[in-house]
Amino acid sequence: MAITVVSGTGTEIGKTVATAALAAVALAAGRTVAVLKPAQTGIAPGEPGDAAEAARLAGPVTTAELARYPEPLAPETAARRAGLPPVRPPDVAEAAEKLAAGHDLVLVEGAGGLLVRYDGEGATLADAARLLGAPVLVVAGAGLGTLNATALTAEALRARGLVCAGVLVGSWPAGPGLAERCNLADLPAAAGAPLLGAVPHGAGALPPAEFRARAGHWLAPALGGTWDAAEFTARHRPAH
């Protein structure tokens, strides 16, 4: 998977930290990595965005943004309100392919969920993924509501002929409740794709060296790590 699109089931779901974990594991394996953030919203000029945060945690990756909009809104809305040009799927595909020519892995991190609008014609991250022929890794929540959001995202991917690479829990709580424990077993069925990891809540606050050392323990072998979905699910299975 030279290019992988990282999308979420919603906003504030853990995409950036998950992207950083993917990058850290790839770097540890000796691969060269680029992180592309097509549209960065809610960040002022000069402030570090999501791609920079992924690099801070993961290590020496190439970072790229195509556009930055000041208000924390959907990309199309933020671009329109700022009077700035939108980002379009062909722009994303072209940038990702250029990065792929010089890197072993390109991670394209979306904004919010899969079908958030990027331009006035209703183009989405899914359209960029289709142009690239790239698989989409879905970062999902752990608690109530995640099964529906994950199922809807997976259905949208299938309707567009896109491959769901799997589901990654973006923020696994230190003290999971009944819903979180049950969801581990139910997420693969909701997605029609395997569960490929669980990033602990607060992982983004770890010192970068510790983050890099631990990242492989949060990701399944398909993503370059050692995390075991069956073992993790069994360990957290409710007693009754």
- Catalytic site residues? 37
Dihedral of alpha carbons 29, 204, 6, 53, sign:
negative
Largest Cα–Cα distance in the chain?
A: 56
Distance CA 62, CA 3 (A): 14
Burial class for 192, CB neighbours closer than 10 Å (0-12, 13-18, 19+):
middle
Distance CA 14, CA 17 (A): 6
In contact, 61 and 34? CB cutoff 8 Å: yes
- Percent helix, strand, coil in the chain, to 5, is 40, 20, 35
Alpha carbon dihedral 36, 39, 44, 45, in 10-degree steps, equals 60
Q: How many CB atoms lie within 10 A of CB 101?
A: 9
The whole-angstrom separation of Cα 74 and Cα 82 is 12
Take residue 5 and report the two structure tokens written for it. 């699109």
